[in-house]
Chain A
Amino acid sequence: MPFAIHYLLGIGDMANSSNLLPSGLPRIESLEMRGIVKRFPGVLASDHVNFDVKAGEIHALLGENGAGKSTLMKILYGLYQPDEGEVFLNGERIVIHSPTDSIKYGIGMIHQHFMLVDNMTVAENVALGLPSSREPRLDLDVVSARIRKLAEKYGLQVNPNSVISKLAVGERQRVEIVKALYRGAALLVLDEPTAVLTPQEVDDLFVIFRQMAADGHALIFISHKLGEILALTDRVTVLRDGRAMGTRPTAGATKQDLASMMVGRDVLLERHRPPAERGPVRLKLDNVNAINEDGVPILKHVSFDVHSGEIVGVAGVSGNGQRPLARGIAGLHEVTNGRIYLENDDITDLSPAQMFKIGLSYIPEERMHDGVVKDFSVAENLILQDYVRRPFSNGIFLAFKYIAEHAKKLITAFRVKTPSRDTPAKNLSGGNIQKLILARELARQPRILIAAQPTRGVDIGATEYIHNQLLKQRAEGLATLLISEDLDEVKALSDRIVVLFGGEVMGIVNSDEVTIEELGLMMAGEKRAELA
């Protein structure tokens, strides 16, 4: 792998001439994928797709889940072989057999989920798998020095000696970028890099991406967040059902254009939230406190209430108490002090099972991890809380006939796309798994719903559907606590917004009277608001 080796030996790191990148590597002037076809049993995942990217350009790849974005990029990265079609690098045909090949050609990939060893330092993570310059001993000092140089050239703030587990999500993302650059990436595939970042971190990241493009890197940006694509990219290619629907310059495009191209029909991006018809208080938190395993307070004197027929949003930067709040109400995290009431009953010390029994529904934020049993069928997943209760069982034997009918009813009612009710949940797309969880939680006819990140990583069509379901339940009198890091979502759906910072309530504001900027300041702990 000529590039990487030169790079490691530091040979290429001399000049910053016009065809070299700041990392000292040659640019990838153009990369072109022509007529790519990839078939899977029963599915045409990629149907004669043409796609190209040039040095200095950020090219967006837009499409719903299952549209074929990942398939195309896996082909580019050598994880899949195309059934038909060719790849050209700087006009020459290349064949990419494996990720080793793609790295050799200067193609790097930043995955949506970080590929970092948590208890190692940045330098150790970057050096992982690369030959040392003085085998068999490690050369972490050399690696660290190079990381510092790279970080400086690209304006990335990264300390090579930090341990990954101590870093914030945004910092980990930068480590991934450094890692790709260190390995000699001239073309970077960014697979939904913003999925786990806060608005501020996204802005920082975009500055870095723009700088990289300006320096001559070619960037492929995969996303289904229309705002980000419009803000960042130069051109956009829309995929739908494995086919390229067209490539166009981003300038001049609107969200509505792109959404329609992506979904194949007109999508409503705005949510219609009629005035609330607030009923009595359903859920009430009174001075709730909680600590983490190390005894550090993570919820401090949290008090608010949620009325029937109301959606209360919880806004905050990730890790400011949203998770313990949701888990505390559900009985999954111990509340050290304070009381929680459902209508007039004290529910503070109830177990999760008891909470579910008296009418709590909870959509956990980590849906694959905490929301479904991946190897269970759709039907089995739909009875995860209620399998012991009639009519799903008589307490001993499961009532398969009823369970099947129940599944059939919910699959239709909530438009869960699945080959059958016996399909394992892991074979469903993210949006459909979320619909499955939503179906399960709403069909239980809850008195309170906690929805944590209900649309994170979910495509536009499913998001629209989930939002409408939440609003429909609101109209029917459900009390919903909506926890989300997507401020647009919180603002669009919530009647009132509780802002959390460091486990404290910074304010409770009426959603229609607050601006995103004000929310941002409260989320950063710089402003308190009068309680609404």
Chain B
Amino acid sequence: MNSNRLFSRRLFNALLPFLAVLAAFAVGAVILLLQGVNPLEAYQAMIVGAFGSKNGLADTLVKSIPLMLVGLGIAIAFRGGVINIGAEGQMIVGALLTTFVGVQLGEQFPGMLGIGIGLIAGMVMGGIWGAIPGFLKAQLGVNEILSTIMMNQIAIQIGYYLLRGVMIDPAEVAAGTNIPHSARLPKVIDMPRFTDMAQWLGFDQSAKDLGLQGYLGEVYGVLVEPSRLHSGFIFAVVMAVLVYIFLWRTTIGYRIRAVGLNPHASRYAGMNVKRTMVLSMTLSGAFAGLAGAVEILGLHHRMFEPTAVSAGYGFSGIVAALFGKLHPLGIIPSSILFGGLLVGGDKMQRAMQIPQVLIVAVLGLVVLFVVSTDYFVRKRSTRRVSVDSDEKPTDTTPTEPNPAEAQA
């Protein structure tokens, strides 16, 4: 009976994020009803829009790429005991340097080499942007939440400055329109799209040619037929696996987690806590910068309005990371889910003629519910633990995990 209860409690905790999403939808339904919109139809439009068709699926996966990369960075920071709210800015500076390097190098290094250089440029720049607040925190005790948010603003303004100055597309200047965007990066360093890769592998028939019907046809379409979906998705998934290996299999990952969980014991064990904090922030920023680089090389192929490139991924990525329980492999599905919500929201807007603000409100509810359930779980667990430690932190039966903590 007891093991049953324990099991159901674990199941409940595992399902909690999904319950949070359902609860957010339920509250969102009330708002939609008040607007005279049938929520069921609206949500149907959303889900079908995000996952039901080739184009929807492709868009969902495209949006999941930056979410995943940012989420991985967030997970590293949180695991290391520092909080990074600056992924927006780190993405922007990463995208800026990638664009700059790509335009400057031109067609000197076509293909993988050029793409690699672009990715590394973004990663390095994002890493620097993360290292600064990390360093300020470690050396001067500056709160990293505030400094990373401030760094976002600096990145945005630097972006505008550069795009109106040295980085502006010469064609715009020539035409006299002066729209602040960069020149297009050389095509030779575009990250290949799924359809390109499929062609290399010899899949050149469309779904219709093969006679694939229904959803199978749509899925085949995503993988093979022309769409915006690019190899950045595979790259991000590979990165997630690498981050998992990094955090749980390597000595540096061990150190980051130790410092995140207990900086005091880590210091007593001879670890350099401050340096590890800076490292966590740097890596976190590097992944956000990488997200910016992949957006440029895989999707936009030029830099334009900074906030439109980062597009809120720096914040949504935090939610995706929390939803994925700060576990690199959990972040893969959670990024796809949130990518779907972003795309589905768009589709819902068009299908139901719902004002954009309502979609934002519903998405905001999802974020709110997910984050607060996470804090709810964590708070409950710490409360249980502290109730225990009030009296005797050590008075647990040694042969069995403390029930209060097992529940948490």
Chain A residues near B (Cβ < 8 Å) = 39-43, 45, 65-66, 69-71, 73-74, 79, 111-113, 115, 191-192, 330, 332, 351-356, 362, 364, 366, 368-376, 380, 384-385, 387-388, 393, 395-398, 400, 417-419, 423-424, 426-433, 457-458
| CB-CB nearest in chain A for B395 | A70
Which residues does chain B contribute within 8 Å of A66, judged by CB atoms?
A: 395-398
Across chains A and B, which 7 residue pairs bring their CB atoms closest together, nearest first?
Answer: A430-B394, A353-B270, A40-B403, A417-B398, A41-B2, A352-B270, A384-B269
A410 to chain B, nearest CB (A): 16
The CA-CA distance from A71 to B257 in the complex, in Å, is 33
- List 6 additional contacts besides A43-B400, A376-B258, A385-B270; criterion CB under 8 Å: A41-B2, A45-B397, A330-B268, A353-B272, A397-B249, A431-B394
Query: Judging by beta carbons under 8 Å apart, are A42 and B396 in contact?
Result: no
A171 to chain B, nearest CB (A): 20
Residues of B contacting A74 in the complex (Cβ-Cβ under 8 angstroms)? 391
Pair B406/A429 contact, Cβ less than 8 Å = no
Q: CB distance A70 to B391 under 8 Å? A: yes
> CB-nearest residue of chain A relative to B402?
A427
Are the CB atoms of B268 and A373 closer together than 8 Å?
Answer: no
- B residues less than 8 Å from A432 (CB atoms): 398
Number of chain B interface residues as a range: 35 or more
Q: Which of A374, A384, A424 has the most CB of B within 10 A?
A: A384
Q: A371-B268, A373-B265, A417-B398 are in contact. Are A397 and B390 (CB under 8 A)?
A: no
B172 at the interface (CB under 8 A from A): no
Task: For the complex formed, measure the closest distance between the CB of B119 and the CB atoms of chain A, giving whole angstroms.
Answer: 22
* Known interface pairs A41-B406, A393-B251; A373-B398 also in contact (CB < 8 Å): no
A191 partner, pick from B391, B400, B402, B406, beta carbons under 8 A: B391
CB contact between A429 and one of B257, B272, B396 (< 8 Å): that residue = B396
In whole angstroms, how far apart are the Cα atoms of A424 and B268 in the complex? 19
Within 8 Å CB of A387, what residues of B?
Answer: 251, 254-255
Q: Tell me if B261 counts as interface (CB < 8 A to partner A).
A: yes
Tell whether A373 pairs with B270 under 8 Å between CB atoms, given A79-B387, A112-B392, A417-B399: no
**Smallest beta-carbon distance A458→chain B, Å:** 8
Chain A positions within 8 Å of B267 at CB level = 332, 352, 370
A79 to B390, CA, bound (A): 11
Cβ distance B269 to chain A, nearest Cβ, rounded Å: 4
Contact A113 B389 (CB under 8 A): yes
The 25 sampled A-B contact pairs (Cβ below 8 Å) are A41-B2, A41-B3, A69-B395, A71-B395, A112-B391, A113-B390, A353-B270, A353-B271, A356-B270, A364-B268, A369-B264, A373-B258, A384-B258, A385-B270, A396-B250, A396-B251, A397-B249, A398-B249, A424-B401, A426-B402, A428-B396, A428-B398, A429-B394, A429-B397, A430-B392
Given A387-B251, A398-B249; A427-B265 close (CB under 8 Å): no
Q: Chain A contacts of B258 at CB under 8 A?
A: 373, 376, 384
What residue of chain B has the Cβ atom nearest to residue A115's Cβ?
A: B390
Q: Is B6 an interface residue (CB 8 A)?
A: yes
Asked whether B385 is an interface residue with its Cβ less than 8 Å from the other chain, the reply is yes
**B262: Cβ under 8 A from any A Cβ:** yes
Minimum CB–CB distance from A453 to chain B (whole Å) comes to 13
A371 to B269, CA, bound (A): 8
Complex Cα distance A381/B399, Å? 18
- Between A and B, how many residue pairs show CB distances below 8 Å? 149
Q: Which residues of A contact B390 (CB under 8 A)?
A: 111-113, 115
Q: Which residues 351-408 of B sit at the A interface, judged by CB distance below 8 A? A: 385, 387, 389-403, 405-406
Which residue of A330, A372, A397, A400 contacts B265 across the interface (Cβ within 8 Å)?
A: A372
B147 within 8 A of A: no
Q: Are B396 and A427 in contact (CB under 8 A)?
A: yes
Docked pose: A292 CA to B7 CA in angstroms: 50
Query: B385: which A residues are within 8 A, CB to CB?
Result: 426
Point out the residues of chain B lying under 8 angstroms from A354, CB to CB.
Answer: 270
Interface string of B204-247 (1 = CB under 8 A from A): 00000000000000000000000000000000000000000000
B271 to chain A, nearest CB (A): 7
- Complex interface residues of chain B between 124 and 142 (CB less than 8 A to chain A): none
Which residue numbers of B lie inside 8 Å of A, CB to CB? 2-3, 5-6, 249-252, 254-255, 257-258, 261-262, 264-272, 385, 387, 389-403, 405-406
Shortest distance between the CB of B4 and any CB in chain A (Å): 9
Q: What is the chain B residue whose CB lies nearest that of A428?
A: B398
A114 CB, nearest partner CB in chain B, Å? 10
Closest-CB distance, A298 to chain B (whole angstroms) = 19
Minimal Cβ-Cβ distance residue in B for A433 = B394
Report chain B residues within 8 Å CB of A355.
270
A352-B270, A426-B405, A430-B393 given; A373·B400 CB < 8 A: no
Contact status A41-B395, CB under 8 Å: no
B392 and A192 contact, CB distance less than 8 A: yes
Which listed residue (B387, B389, B392, B401) contacts A65, Cβ 8 A?
B392
Which residues of B have CB within 8 Å of A372?
262, 265
Could you say which residues of chain B place their CB within 8 Å of the CB of A65? 392, 394-396
Contact assessment for B261 and A374 in the assembled complex, using a CB-CB cutoff below 8 Å:
yes
- Chain A residue nearest in CB terms to B245: A397
CA distance A330 to B2 in the complex (A): 46
Contacting residues, chain B, for A417 (C-beta < 8 A): 398-399
A419 and B249 contact, CB distance less than 8 A: no
A465 CB to closest chain B CB, in angstroms?
13
B398 touching A418 by the CB < 8 A rule?
yes
Chain A residues, Cβ within 8 Å of B272: 353
Verify A70–B392 contact, CB threshold 8 A.
yes
> Which residues in B have their C-beta under 8 angstroms from that of A371?
265, 268
Check A380/B270 contact, CB under 8 A, given A65-B392, A73-B391, A419-B401.
no
Q: Do A380 and B394 contact each other (CB < 8 Å), given the known contacts A113-B389, A373-B266, A427-B401?
A: no
A70 vs chain B, min Cβ distance (A): 4
CB of B101 to closest CB in A, whole Å: 29
Question: What's the minimum C-beta distance from A462 to chain B, rounded to whole angstroms?
Answer: 10
**B250 CB, min distance to chain A CBs, angstroms:** 6
Give the residues in chain B near A69, CB-CB below 8 Å: 392, 395
A218 to chain B: closest CB distance in Å?
19
For residue A305, give the distance in angstroms from its CB to the closest CB of chain B: 24
Contacts A397-B249, A427-B396, A457-B394 known; A42 to B268 CB distance under 8 Å? no
B167 shortest CB reach to chain A, Å = 38
Determine if A375 and B270 form an interchain contact, defined as CB atoms under 8 angstroms apart: no
A398 contacts B2, C-beta separation under 8 Å: no
Instruction: Tell which of B251, B396, B400, B401 touches A388, judged by Cβ atoms closer than 8 Å.
Output: B251
Q: For the complex, what is the distance from the CA of A424 to the CA of B261, rounded to whole Å?
A: 12
> In the assembled complex, which residues on chain A have CB atoms less than 8 Å from the CB atom of B270?
351-356, 385
Nearest chain A residue, comparing its CB with the CB of B259 = A373
The residue of chain A having its C-beta at the shortest distance from the C-beta of B272 within the complex is A353
B264 to chain A, nearest CB (A): 5
Query: Which residues does chain A contribute within 8 Å of B251, judged by CB atoms?
Result: 387-388, 393, 395-398
